[in-house]
Amino acid sequence: MFGHSPRRVPRVSFRAAEGCEVVSGAGPGTRRDRGDGTNVALNALRFGAALVVVVSHVRPLLYVDFSQALDAGPGPRAIYAVTTLGHQAVIVFFVLSGYWVGGSVLRGLRERRFDVARYATSRAVRLWIVLLPAMVLTQALDRSGTWFFPDSDVYAGSTAYHLVVPQDGALHRLGALTTLGNAVFLQSLAVPQLGTDTPLWSLALEFWYYVIFPAVLLAVWRGVARRVRLVAALVGAVGLAVLWYGHTQGSQGLVLFPTWLVGAGVAWALEPVGRALGRVPAWALGPVRAATVVAVVGVALVHHALGEGFALSLVLALVAGLLVALLTTDVRGVVRRFWNPFSWGAEWSYSLYATHVPVIAFVTAILAPVAAGRRQLTWATLPVGLGVAAVAVLVALAVYAVAERHTGALRAVLLRAVPRPRLFAPVPADAGTRVANHPPRAGFHPLDH
């Protein structure tokens, strides 16, 4: 499934620069970030997870539940299994996000060049450049849908759709307060998700993970100026308080934060991971990667079957983290060429993630206005679902072309005007002499870097 270069020591690639991140399916946003086999593989993983999320929302809206299925053959059974793993795919996103974004923070701190202003600007641009258009689209589609199809269960609400769209209806979730709360990443924490765009819950969690992780590290990292430590500690405490408040309201923010940290842990241990992979025979890495993919899917199915608790979520994140670690070496040859199109899909997967449910809901209100009219899932009806998913993809590509594609350009313009405050205390003049006289001990501690 995943090939490998015949070299004995694989080249480890760590592209956790400011522009590379995962925002619930978001890709780096530039073709340059697909430059090596590592990025091809990780981007393909990201895009594959985004597609799983999409089909997991199409199936409950258009097709009956498995308990009502008349055809329980291997094909439909496999489709039902895959289309139950949307939440598990988001956990994979969190691991990838921790690897890229958390890794960029760790690398910046280790090299004493972490820039809070640039980091905050990059994160804000990356999140808002898609979130704001997605919110406008949601308002337009949901208000139009409730106007033209007021009796549709999609907009009126139905438990038959589970949590894909609001069970209590969408219209009351389009007000000014809810809209503002979603714009500042409080959805699922203090306000509901905007209208039918229920996947926005994960964007709020990612935003607060982006805030908390560097703030906590800056508060304890050796060499950081004291005033910066105090401000960082305050910011970290506020972020944790927001997650705690959301947790009391039913949010999974605190429960899923460790899954994000798993990805950051992979980035932290990248050098020993590279050395360990260097001892694995080149011919064995492909089968090991394939087996790990199967393990991720298997654990995801168990996670869905037994419930979305903390322990199983962490286990799934650890297995996904293992897969990410295995993909930190180049994937080359025929396998790399096969995965290239999927890597390109990662460039617009954030747009797909943030816009697909309102689009699917609107089309469903036309094709199956009431839940009782949902179709049996058969090979004959499957093209209907694929067609609806294709519509969501086309809309996402339009949003990408208008907004997400320009992430790098907008970020560059804003960064030129961003001040660069000093984070680290000045290095004493005799630091080089003291380091020479006292070389670092074997191993390291987080506060030493």
What are the structural domain ranges in the chain? 31-448
Integer Cα distance of 204 and 127 in angstroms: 10
The pLDDT assigned to 273 comes to 85
* pLDDT confidence bin for 17, thresholds 50/70/90: very low
* pLDDT confidence bin for 183, thresholds 50/70/90: very high
The pLDDT assigned to 421 comes to 67
Q: Which of residues 95 and 418 earns the better pLDDT score? A: 95
**How large is the average pLDDT for residues 387-409?**
96
For the chain, give the percent of residues with pLDDT over 90: 65
Highest mean predicted confidence (pLDDT) among 73-77, 272-276, 334-338, 389-393? 389-393
The pLDDT assigned to 297 comes to 95
pLDDT digits (tens, 9 = 90+) for 59-82: 999 999 998 988 778 888 999 999
Helix (H) or strand (E) holding 266: helix 253-268
Helix (H) or strand (E) holding 59: helix 37-62
Residue with tokens 């974004």: 101
**How large is the average pLDDT for residues 379-386?**
94
Residue 354, pLDDT > 80, answer yes
Residue 18 vs residues 102, 411, 412: alpha-carbon distances, Å = 10, 10, 11
What's the pTM? 0.86
Contact 317, 49 (CB under 8 A): no
The pLDDT assigned to 448 comes to 28
**How large is the average pLDDT for residues 379-402?**
96
Q: Mean pLDDT, the chain, as a whole number?
A: 85
Q: Could you give the count of Cα atoms lying within 13 Å of 220 in the half-sphere of its Cβ?
A: 11
The pLDDT assigned to 449 comes to 28
* pLDDT confidence bin for 335, thresholds 50/70/90: low
The pLDDT assigned to 11 comes to 45
* pLDDT confidence bin for 333, thresholds 50/70/90: low
C-alpha torsion sign, points 168, 171, 176, 181 = positive
* pLDDT confidence bin for 265, thresholds 50/70/90: very high
pLDDT digits (tens, 9 = 90+) for 147-159: 999 999 999 999 9
Q: Which of residues 123 and 21 earns the better pLDDT score? A: 123
pLDDT digits (tens, 9 = 90+) for 401-442: 999 999 999 999 998 887 776 676 665 545 444 433 433 333
Residue 374, pLDDT > 80, answer yes
Contact 62, 368 (CB under 8 A): yes
How many Å is the maximal CA-CA distance in the chain?
A: 78
Alpha-helix runs per DSSP H in 269-404: 270-278, 282-306, 310-326, 333-345, 349-367, 382-402
The pLDDT assigned to 274 comes to 82
**How large is the average pLDDT for residues 343-358?**
92
Task: Look at residue 145 and give its three-state secondary structure.
Answer: helix
Residue 179, pLDDT > 80, answer yes
**How large is the average pLDDT for residues 313-334?**
84
Integer Cα distance of 146 and 103 in angstroms: 43
**How large is the average pLDDT for residues 174-198?**
97
The pLDDT assigned to 153 comes to 94
Q: Which residues contact 409 (CB under 8 A, 6 or more apart)?
A: none
Q: State in Å, rounded, how far the first CA of the chain is from the last one.
A: 37
The pLDDT assigned to 100 comes to 94
Residue 185, pLDDT > 80, answer yes
Q: Which of residues 328 and 34 earns the better pLDDT score? A: 328
CB neighbour class for 259 (10 Å; exposed up to 12, middle 13-18, buried from 19) = buried
Integer Cα distance of 316 and 301 in angstroms: 10
The pLDDT assigned to 428 comes to 53
Which of 335, 248, 294, 316 is CA-nearest to residue 87?
A: 316
